[in-house]
Structure 1
Amino acid sequence: MALSRDEREQFLAEPHIAALAVESGDNGGRAPLTVPIWYQYAPGGDVWIMTGRDSRKGQLIAEAGRFSLMVDRVEPTIRYVSVEGPVIDTVPATREQLVEISARYLPAEKVEGYVDFAWKNHGDQVVVHMRPQRWLSSDLGEV
């Protein structure tokens, strides 16, 4: 059964690891690049991700001008939300954004160490904002 708008937005706002998919141009555009990624979202807003400025993922997103995210839960009740939409902004990442997204996924005591390491070692990062345009969702119930 499809989730209501409030249910799907609340589910997407939870800290799931997303599968990001973007057209890769491989095989005539039929084979997307699909990778796991951290993301940030608040109900009613836009999604944002952080990636390397020169990463393949970042380059493909810039070329395609859009991407998809899919998040799921595999324990009852099993559900998923998939969202796709256009890129509305790409800006240089800030340390504060790295702290924000890291705190979403890591235990509090690990955030500062991870941020210090990532800021020094991951190279130039960008934040890519996507406006959710198409949603798919389902609650598959108890299995």
Structure 2
Amino acid sequence: MTTSMTKAERETFLADTRIGMLSVPDGRAPLLVPIWYAYEPGGDIRISTPSTSRKLTLIKQAGQAGFAVQQEEMPYKFVSVDGPITGYEPTDPAEYHRWSIRYLGPADGERFFAAIEETLPHWTTISIRPTRWRTFDFSKEFA
């Protein structure tokens, strides 16, 4: 019996609304931060951050990143990936607006987006290509 997810299961799980954990080399210990993201099955993971952030500097130095999401309630599940950075682009306000609504709901998402919208010209969106996948689905322990 395997507790690994199929390709379809892992991609669907990663595409759900979850808080991701970004990991980037930073000297002796990695920088590990929670972050919003977007993912469509078969594509790249997209994250956005202020262009002056420590994480963007480290990502550019490393050229790669690790990323993980989990389900915190039973049955426990996680998807962890790592891969190269495939692109940097200015953050699209319309895309970040969708993320705000996705993560915070309509009212809070609108309020949050209005508070940060003027800063978005100074943000960068990074694409990470998942190349190595690790998965676990605790519900398969009982199948």
Normalised by the length of structure 2, the TM-score is: 0.91
Normalised by the length of structure 1, the TM-score is: 0.91
Equivalent runs, 1:79-118 vs 2, <5 Å: 79-118=77-116
In 2: Cα distance, 1:93 partner to 1:136 partner: 29
Please point out which of 32, 57, 60 is paired with 1:59: 57
1:16 pairs with 2:14: no
In 2: Cα distance, 1:83 partner to 1:108 partner: 30
In 1: Cα distance, 2:42 partner to 2:61 partner: 26
Equivalent runs, 1:63-82 vs 2, <5 Å: 63-82=61-80
In 1: Cα distance, 2:96 partner to 2:35 partner: 13
In 2: Cα distance, 1:33 partner to 1:8 partner: 24
Residue 120 of structure 1 deviates from its aligned partner by 2.7
Percent of aligned pairs sharing the same letter? 36
Q: Point out the structure with the larger strand share.
A: 1
1:139 pairs with 2:137: yes
In 2: Cα distance, 1:101 partner to 1:65 partner: 24
**Structure 2: gaps (5+ residues):** none
Q: Point out the structure with the larger helix share.
A: 2
2:9 paired residue number: 7
- The one-letter code of the counterpart of 1:65 is G
Could you report, residue by residue, the CA deviation over 1:44-73 in whole angstroms, capped at 9, with x for unpaired residues? 111100001010001100110111111001
In 1: Cα distance, 2:59 partner to 2:95 partner: 19
**Structure 1: gaps (5+ residues):** none
In 1: Cα distance, 2:119 partner to 2:41 partner: 32
Root-mean-square deviation (Å): 1.7
Equivalent runs, 1:43-58 vs 2, <5 Å: 43-58=41-56
